[in-house]
Amino acid sequence: MIEKARPSQEMFKYILWFTTSHYERSEIMGMDKVFVYLVDTYYATGQTPWVDKNVLANILNRVAKIRPLLIGQIAPNMIMQDTNLNLVSMHDIKARYLILLFWDPDCGHCEQELPVLKTFYDTNHVKYDMKVFAVCSDTSMVKWKKAIKKKDMNFINVDGPRTLTGNYHDQYDISTTPVIFILNNRKEIIAKHLQTDQVARFIRNHAQLTRQP
């Protein structure tokens, strides 16, 4: 459609901008890849001279941030301290399914969501060879450990601010909590930004479709 509209500059501009905006904000998981494709194909190649340079810079920066987080990409590694101050490398964790959980002890939404994830994990982690890499955003180790104990978070718990691999907010485009990514055994992103009740359905369906027990 975009190419067919090219003879009419105004129609070309309208369809390109509409589709760019639509796929940047799509609520369907994985459609951000279309947004990246459109920016790479048209905006980054000088085919949008009408776009303000500051707006263009913001668009290109946005694509640079989310490109490593597209479905199918190897998830950026995180090396962080656990509750015993030992360093844990996310890429070294062996699991068929690795759930990345970004959470905060003071997050009201986390208070509701974490028990749902824990219930599924406790009853299914052996069946699906599943582990949770839980990244806490709070800088207080005392508050962090207290919350882990209160919620009985029998996950791989790491402290987000204490890291060897850069700011995880930038790495994973985290602006709120909770946020969940799911990785396969090759650390490829296979799902992201799921609600905790969606995690169970996704893993069960994925395991069935890939003929995993």
**pLDDT score recorded for residue 139:** 86
Domains and CATH numbers, the chain: 9-69 (no CATH), 79-209 (3.40.30.10)
Q: Output the pLDDT for position 212.
A: 53
CA distances, 132 to each of 135, 149, 157, 169 (Å): 9, 16, 8, 18
Percent of the chain with pLDDT over 90: 93
> Stretch 204-208: mean pLDDT, rounded?
94
Q: In what order do the strands lie in the sheet with 156-163?
A: 87-89, 79-82, 156-163, 130-136, 97-103, 179-183, 189-192
Residues in the chain: 213
The structure tokens 């027990």 sit at 213
- pLDDT for 110 equals 93
What's the N-to-C CA distance of the chain in angstroms? 43
Segment 65-81, tens digit of pLDDT: 999 999 999 999 999 99
Residues 6 or more apart whose Cβ sits within 8 Å of residue 151: 114, 115, 118
What are the residues facing 163 on neighbouring strands?
80
pLDDT band for position 169 (50/70/90)?
very high
Mean pLDDT score across all residues of the chain: 95
Burial category of 38 from C-beta neighbours within 10 Å (exposed 0-12, middle 13-18, buried 19 and up): buried
Q: What are phi and psi of 194, to 5 degrees?
A: -90, 150
10 Å CB burial of residue 49 (0-12, 13-18, 19+) is: exposed
Q: What Rg, from alpha-carbon coordinates, does the chain have?
A: 20
Mean pLDDT of 161-175: 92
Which H or E element spans position 160?
A: strand 156-163
Q: What band does 12 get if pLDDT is binned at 50, 70 and 90?
A: very high
Query: Helix crossing, 108-124 with 141-151: angle to 10°?
Result: 50
